[in-house]
Homo-oligomer: A and B are copies of this chain.
Amino acid sequence: MTGQRTVAETARPSEPRYGNRPTMKDVAARAGVGLKTVSRVVNGEPGVTPDTERRVQEAIEALGFRRNDSARVLRKGRTASIGLVLEDLADPFYGPLSRAVEEVARAHGALLINGSSAEDPDREQELALALCARRVDGLIVIPAGDDHRYLEPEIKAGIATVFVDRPAGRIDADTILSDSYGGAREGVAHLIAHGHRRIGFIGDRPRIHTATERLRGYHAAMADAGTAVHDSWVSLGSTEPGRVRAAVERMVSGPEPVTALFAGNNRVTVTAVRVLAEQERRIALVGFDDIELADLLGITVVAQDAAAVGRTAAEHLFRRLDGADHPPVRVQLPTALVPRGSGELPPA
């Protein structure tokens, strides 16, 4: 039989104390040394005799002690973590980007906290501010909204911030972009060079900066070729498959059917490929963003290097954290046209 349970045994302390984990104080008591000596051992600071160190280590082992970084952070004022607010981690473009950021963070001894905004400006703000409340040392934001003044106090208070893929709205800050305008212009020019004049453009919602930049590139290339753009050739909106499918079907079958299509991003490209595969006529296609297995499917794309974008952003961020205080920079990374067949088809 076990002994009777007293109230004192059953009652839980009202303060969780991290599940009753041992603290440095507990280790110090067990090792028979002062608190600061434990701190020295845990942090590898000099000034501890081998014998003392051994006793402390033993106590640490015996108690299963692990330093509570929350307390450390509070005292030191640095969290050794950075935040990344992106659109959707499940999107194949952001996985490699996030991983690249993580690698740079790791090289600087920092952890990465990321969150998906789901393209919702409110959610972007909620996430970014939550990360600021945790006092991340720096923040990388792929904007969903177009007004980032809410970050001004945070930036002023010392949270280094870099915007990626789309520029910040209404504040001046470091920005890393791919050349959406130039890339789209080159892609459309490629179709024109292969004899197309009736070229459709399907892109993301006009709220998204990259969408309008790519559209601008499309218009520039069409203007270069002296080709007037028919209204029905342009469709901006959600990248949800249903909408893209409808847009493609309309464009290839309307009164002024297109002979080629430019897809504004990876999700549009994927749906466009599916729909075009069902068509009788062969429609040429160039897509923005590379996608897995595009080589096997012969899809011509304008590729941006997601990992390079992430790496560049993170490197800038840590340069800021290391004290760089030059005026905000805007870096534009080049894109690359990768011909694989679909963009070289002649007009039907």
The chain A residues found within 8 Å of chain B, CB to CB, are 15-21, 64, 66-71, 73-74, 76-79, 81, 88-92, 94-96, 98-100, 102, 106, 111-116, 129-135, 153-154, 156-159, 270, 273-274, 277, 291-297, 307
Q: Which one, B17, B92, B132, contacts A66 given CB within 8 A?
A: B132
Closest B residue to A306 by beta carbon equals B90
What is the CA–CA distance of A294 and B273 in the complex, to the nearest angstrom? 12
Q: Which one, B16, B78, B115, B274, contacts A296 given CB within 8 A?
A: B274
| Cβ distance A317 to chain B, nearest Cβ, rounded Å | 15
Are A95 and B102 in contact, with the CB atoms below 8 A? no
Given contacts A64-B153, A96-B90, contact A77 B293 (CB under 8 A): no
Are B291 and A76 in contact, with the CB atoms below 8 A? no
Q: Which one, B77, B95, B307, contacts A15 given CB within 8 A?
A: B77
Are A21 and B157 in contact, with the CB atoms below 8 A? yes
Closest B residue to A92 by beta carbon equals B92
What is the CA–CA distance of A70 and B102 in the complex, to the nearest angstrom? 22
| Cβ distance A162 to chain B, nearest Cβ, rounded Å | 17
| Cβ distance A89 to chain B, nearest Cβ, rounded Å | 4
Name which of A99, A129, A156, A291 has the most chain B CB atoms within 10 A of its CB: A99
Are A18 and B98 in contact, with the CB atoms below 8 A? no
Chain B neighbourhood of A154, CB < 8 A? 66
What is the CA–CA distance of A94 and B71 in the complex, to the nearest angstrom? 32
With A21-B157, A114-B114 given, name 17 new contacts (CB 8 A).
Answer: A19-B157, A19-B159, A64-B156, A66-B153, A66-B154, A68-B135, A69-B135, A70-B73, A71-B74, A90-B98, A94-B95, A102-B115, A111-B130, A112-B115, A113-B113, A293-B293, A293-B294
